[in-house]
Amino acid sequence: MRRYQHNPIITRQDVPAVEPHLVDVSSVFNPGAIKFGDTYLLLLRVQNRGRETHLMVAESDDGRRFSIRNTCVRFNGLEKIAKPIFHIYDPRITQIDNRCYIVMAMDMAAGCRLGLAVTDDFKSFQFLGVEPHRDMRNGVLFPEKINGSYVRLDRPNTGTAGAGVSSGSTICVSTSNNLIDWTYSATLMHGRPHFWDELIGSGPPPVKTREGWLHIYHGVATHFAGVNIYQAGVVLLDLDDPTKVKTRSRYNILEPRELCEQVGQVPNVVFPSGMIVEQFDSDGFAEPDSEVLLYYGAADTCVCLATTTIDELIAACYAGEEKP
């Protein structure tokens, strides 16, 4: 990954104080991303000094210089959901059949749940539902149906990352016929104890390549005294059966090295959440030499960008593989 030379691309100072609760906010991080027409859009997680969370849209015509719109995202239909909802955060955006779906974490009384919303214009957002029972985070939708079903990766919260933060060490596959009701289908991958990705969770939604579904995830090393290290890695899944891992990066592809990644609200965090692939062929596969823009939260404080290509990411999946 090549870090953008002007990182961080968005900081708390860029958030417009257009509403009283947005005056002098604390942080902006973990954005969802999509290229919508010719516009690069980020859906930002903004946290104010009440430690309240708001989602805001930022837009750009080059994927690098963003301006944040003067409004917070409001979800129509959210009023029908039982309260309290403490936070809605870490949105992941997937376009399916020309509609943009947003899967987001929702901290509620019973725990963390996955919520779903849809938008056709990034101005009006319709809340579609929240999955009531399973405690999960890091839900991402595949951009098309596979074998007749919608497919989602999610990360059940089965333990903690310390300090009471719910977490988990498996990424699972769920399927659905309507995007609302989901059924567990398989466990895709486990964390690797002792190494860089002990706890894991999906990053941005998977991308279709000729080699398989390319998926960036985050891994947490928990075996260092007093600190968890959040990094990014990459995995390639079988095209026809995305419950099967073809190959998985032995090394992380991005780790906290710059000051803004090492110091902040939560130190030593790079958290990949948005990815834009510039070129697809006429069959919908990402071009091997296409540029890839990866947007990530740094230290839960600001937004950074790193770039690479599809080919380089696929090579990273195989790097360090032991030959028989």
Give the footprint of ligand BMA on this chain (CB under 6 A): 30, 90, 161, 165, 167, 230, 266, 269, 271, 297, 300
- What is the phi-psi region of residue 129: left when phi exceeds 0, alpha when psi lies from -120 to 50, beta otherwise? left
Shortest distance (Å) from residue 273 CB to ligand BMA: 8
CB closer to ligand BMA out of 90 and 261: 90
CB closer to ligand BMA out of 94 and 222: 222
CB closer to ligand BMA out of 30 and 309: 30
CB closer to ligand BMA out of 192 and 246: 192
Shortest distance (Å) from residue 230 CB to ligand BMA: 5
Reported as type and span, the H/E element at residue 44 is strand 39-47
Q: How far apart are CA 13 and CA 298, in angstroms?
A: 15
Quick one: which of 252, 277, 279, 257 has its CA closest to 268?
257
How many helices and strands (H and E) does the chain possess?
A: 2, 24
Shortest distance (Å) from residue 270 CB to ligand BMA: 9
The answer to whether the CB of 10 falls within 8 A of the CB of 27 is no
CB closer to ligand BMA out of 10 and 146: 10
CB closer to ligand BMA out of 90 and 131: 90
Q: Tokens for 151, please give them.
A: 């497919």
Shortest distance (Å) from residue 286 CB to ligand BMA: 26
Q: How far apart are CA 185 and CA 98, in angstroms?
A: 26
Shortest distance (Å) from residue 113 CB to ligand BMA: 14
Shortest distance (Å) from residue 299 CB to ligand BMA: 8
The answer to whether the CB of 125 falls within 8 A of the CB of 165 is no
- For CA atoms 272, 270, 260, 293, the dihedral sign is negative
| Contacts of residue 245, Cβ cutoff 8 Å, sequence gap at least 6 | 188, 189, 235, 236, 237, 238
How buried is 283 (Cβ within 10 angstroms: 0-12 exposed, 13-18 middle, 19+ buried)? exposed
CB closer to ligand BMA out of 141 and 161: 161
Shortest distance (Å) from residue 197 CB to ligand BMA: 14
Shortest distance (Å) from residue 271 CB to ligand BMA: 4
CB closer to ligand BMA out of 27 and 309: 27
Place of tokens 């005056």: 23
Shortest distance (Å) from residue 82 CB to ligand BMA: 22
The answer to whether the CB of 232 falls within 8 A of the CB of 269 is no
CB closer to ligand BMA out of 46 and 317: 46
Q: How far apart are CA 309 and CA 324, in angstroms?
A: 28
Residue whose beta carbon is closest to ligand BMA: 266
Q: How far apart are CA 189 and CA 207, in angstroms?
A: 17
The conformation of residue 14, written as its DSSP 8-state character, comes to: G
